[in-house]
Amino acid sequence: MRDTHTERLGIVVAVDGSPSSTAAVEWAARDADLRKVPLRIVHVMPSEPVAEGWYSVNMPDGFSQWQEEYAKQIVSDAHKLAESHVAPDRADQVTTEILGGAIVHTLVELSEHAELIAVGCRGQGTVAGALLGSVSSGLAHHARCPVAVIHDEQPVDAQAPVVVGVDGSPTSELATEIAFDEASRRGVGLVALHAWTDMGRLGIAKIGWAPIEWRNIKVQEEEVLAERLSGWSERYPDVEVTRVLVSDEPAPRLLEQAENAQLVVVGSHGRGAVPTTLLGSVSRTVVNSARVPVIVARVPHGHRPDHQV
């Protein structure tokens, strides 16, 4: 792709004309309007028009021209939709771009210059029953900025709270920063969930585990959660925070809270993940199974949350 993106792009949304893509445009336009940042609508055309399988088939004459016209129509429709979801005086902040190249690789490169990149959970080439498309999965694993994965199955209640998973890891710290900011801009409450357990997934005690009075551990974990939230609550006094502390695996409890939320924010991998892990089991489960938008807080290179607690 061309190397001209030295400016910050604000929010980038990837479009392909699918229902999930349409939902992503609507969500990204509203979020860009709330943040007062530009919105870049991007469609990526494969650089080589061939169908890959156990053999390759050359596309017929005129396919490239059709592909270009189709791409123009997709971004034109997306542009009109986005303009209808931003303030009239910000319509000039919505721009479009058609690029060629490998889709995930091209979008990952764009993410280096973006505040956030949004994508539908499933694209045109994904089986309807699949949980997550290849593009959304690729961005959730490799993007260099936070990724919003937008589901189109369920309308979102604008008065519902934002939910965030808190575990004290660096990406959780960024997730908390994002969640407070999103809740404040939307004028809604924030549900901060902290899940802990001294038992393994099969109900077997972890190594080094010893019987300890549960309420003592609960008090300790409450203090940890309060400490993690205190600085952010001072910065965002307008955000009413509901603390949820559970002795359980975090993914099912986050999905439980997501049923009554408008947005869920999770770290790309938690404190229990291997440092080189691209996407942790909790974030992967939530992105796959939630039916509301999910932001995966991928920490940009060199980024540190503004507030450390």
Domain with 280 in it: what CATH number? 3.40.50.620
Same domain, 264 and 202: yes
d(CA 174, CA 158): 23
Percent of residues, the chain, with pLDDT higher than 90: 58
Same domain, 167 and 52: no
Same domain, 115 and 223: no
Same domain, 236 and 258: yes
Same domain, 197 and 105: no
Do residues 268 and 278 lie in contact, with contact meaning Cβ atoms separated by under 8 Å? yes
In a domain, 62, yes or no: yes
User: How far, CA to CA in Å, does 71 sit from each of 89, 133, 260?
Assistant: 27, 19, 36
Phi, psi of 2 (to 5 degrees): -70, 145
pLDDT in tens, 108-161: 999 999 999 999 987 554 444 344 678 999 999 999 999 999 987 678 899 999
Residue 148 has a pLDDT of 97
Average pLDDT of every residue of the chain: 82
Domains identified in the chain, total number: 2
Residue 247 has pLDDT above 60, yes or no: yes
Give the end of a domain, one of 150, 184, 202. 150
From 159, 176, 151, 169, select the one nearest 269 (Cα to Cα). Answer: 169
pLDDT in tens, 160-175: 999 999 987 888 899 9
Same domain, 98 and 172: no
Beta bridge partners of 247: 196
In a domain, 309, yes or no: no
Q: Which of 137-146, 192-201, 230-239, 247-256 has the lowest mean pLDDT?
A: 192-201
Give the end of a domain, one of 150, 176, 202. 150
Do residues 116 and 107 lie in contact, with contact meaning Cβ atoms separated by under 8 Å? no
d(CA 172, CA 162): 15
Residue 271 has a pLDDT of 47
Do residues 92 and 83 lie in contact, with contact meaning Cβ atoms separated by under 8 Å? no
d(CA 270, CA 251): 11
In a domain, 2, yes or no: no
Identity of residue 159: Q
Task: Quote the tokens at residue 119.
Answer: 């994508």
In a domain, 109, yes or no: yes
In a domain, 305, yes or no: no
Q: The domain that contains 60 carries what CATH number? A: 3.40.50.12370
Same domain, 20 and 133: yes
In a domain, 90, yes or no: yes
In a domain, 30, yes or no: yes
Same domain, 89 and 181: no
Same domain, 99 and 200: no
What domain range includes position 192? 162-297
d(CA 304, CA 67): 41
In a domain, 303, yes or no: no
Same domain, 16 and 60: yes
Query: Burial, 255: exposed, middle or buried (Cβ in 10 Å; 0-12, 13-18, 19+)?
Result: middle
